[in-house]
């Protein structure tokens, strides 16, 4: 069993596309979400700025299959976003 554990971890290795997605999401979050985070927390309100930023970048429904209007991303990409 110990020998097969290493193969399991390969399932969680990021691809170049995952790494590019991570950088894009980080940039988006720093520029358009983080500036409002304290205000959202203090007011206990829904973060409309975050939703609008994600929608504007087509990152709001990455887990939804393409045939239903989403990006059809895999589970790891969904978690990254």
Q: Each residue of 27-66: pLDDT tens digit?
A: 999 999 999 999 999 999 999 999 999 999 999 999 999 9
pLDDT above 60 for 6 = no
Cβ contacts of residue 77 below 8 Å, gap of 6+?
Answer: 17, 18, 21, 62, 71
Write down the pLDDT at residue 12: 73
Which has the closest alpha carbon to 63: 73, 53, 55, 50? 73
State what percent of residues in the chain have pLDDT above 70. Answer: 88
Q: What is the second-level CATH architecture of the domain 2-80?
A: Orthogonal Bundle (1.10)
pLDDT above 80 for 7 = no
């Amino acid at each position: 069993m110990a020998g097969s554990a290493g193969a399991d971890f390969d399932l969680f290795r990021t691809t170049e596309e995952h790494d590019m997605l991570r950088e894009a999401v980080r940039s988006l979050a720093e520029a358009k979400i983080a500036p409002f985070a304290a205000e959202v927390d203090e007011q206990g309100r829904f973060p409309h700025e975050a939703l609008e930023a994600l929608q504007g970048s087509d990152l709001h429904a990455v887990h939804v299959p393409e045939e239903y209007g989403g990006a059809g991303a895999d589970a790891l990409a969904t978690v990254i976003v």
